[in-house]
Amino acid sequence: MSSLPSVNWSYPTTVRFGVGRIKELADSVKAVGMSNPLLVTDPGLASLPMVAEAIASLKADGLSAAVFSDVKPNPVDSNIEAGVAAFKEGNHDGVIAFGGGSGLDAGKLIAFMSGQTRPIWDFEDVGDWWTRADPTGIAPIVAVPTTAGTGSEVGRAGVVTNEATHTKKVIFHPKMLPEIVICDPELTVGMPRFITVGTGMDALAHCLEAYSAPMYHPMSEGIALEGIRLVLENLPKVAADGSDLEARGHLMSAAAMGAVAFQKGLGAIHSLSHPVGALYDTHHGMTNAVFMPYVLQFNKPAIEQKFERLAGFLGISGGYRGVLDTVMKLRSDLEVPHTLAGLKVDDAKRDLIAEMAIVDPTAGGNPVELTKAGALEIFDKAQLGTV
């Protein structure tokens, strides 16, 4: 009898990738049946020419459009409620999710909730809770990433913070997957270095954790491998020269690859980063970057052999230790804080963070079971800088 597991795999959507592809926004919107989209983005982007140009291009093509930008860097439930209200008031028929992780997640969640009657928390990524949703009430989505990190443009979920409990929740539904994605590296050129580094490290975290996760999913594992290589080779180039379009493009690919790969699983990097972000409002990708080496060390007994293969693929000598040293050097070169203190995170809430981490949906993918004691061990080492 076969020992192969029985598992479900899913792969992403139509992606229009390349320099200048933003010119195809109106065509993409029409292709999914929209005539009056709501463009959802964050306040910073809403004031930039790229959003004004996007709206102008839609109107020049005979489409109506409006902008909603009341979105926090870590979106909260009231942002989604306000967006749904704007969607209904404007009689919109779809959403353009435009921006980094916050704009993409908020846009997807607004499209999802626009036709639901139950509270958003009823659709948390737990078991089959997604089946509670009315699929006919989910508006079509076109996604336009302007960072290279979260990969939310090819994901079927959105992350939102519950303001009442200060916990990040993952809301999931297969139809939350955007129907068309426009990946144009030119849109990422103006990113500040801090955001470039943080989002790039987020993509690396996705790929590393997906590769490490124990679920049987060789397709995602292979994608994670190439995503790791692309980040390691191209993030330093982009940090040094933000106008390097070729490197920007490779990072956009890596971001999408990470999000595709992590259907295999994430782990303690994310399960610790989520509560820290919810409680201290830190940048998600940069928080992942701080926790990264401490979690790798915690997981060493389970991943050491796999990282021998990873080192071989990357052309790094020294096996597991060589990969860890490469990650450490990358963090140092990119001026990622070595400890949580660099993110202004103290240990006042360490116990609460550990309790939140072990029940976070991403904890289940960690290759070493994440107990409260383990979460505290990682947190303390990230406070002290002990790898």
Percent of the chain topping pLDDT 90: 92
Interval 246-274: pLDDT, tens: 999 999 999 999 999 999 999 999 999 99
What confidence tier does 1 reach under pLDDT thresholds 50, 70, 90?
low
CATH number of the domain that residue 18 is part of:
3.40.50.1970
Domain end marker among 135, 154, 188: 188
Question: What is the average pLDDT across 51-63?
Answer: 96
Q: Could you tell me if 168 and 240 lie in one domain? A: no
Tell whether the model's pLDDT for residue 309 goes beyond 90. Answer: yes
Is the residue at 6 inside a domain? no
Domain CATH for 326? 1.20.1090.10
pTM given for the model: 0.93
Q: Is the pLDDT of residue 47 over 90?
A: yes
How many domains does one find in the chain?
2
Regarding whether 232 and 102 lie in a shared domain, the answer is no
Question: For residue 329, what are the domain limits?
Answer: 193-384
Extract the tokens encoding 3: 């020992």
* Torsion of Cα atoms, 285 then 286 then 290 then 291, to 10°: -20
Single residue among 169, 188, 207 that ends a domain in this structure: 188
Q: How confident is the model at residue 323 (pLDDT cuts 50, 70, 90)?
A: very high
In a domain, residue 55? The reply is: yes
pLDDT at 190: 87
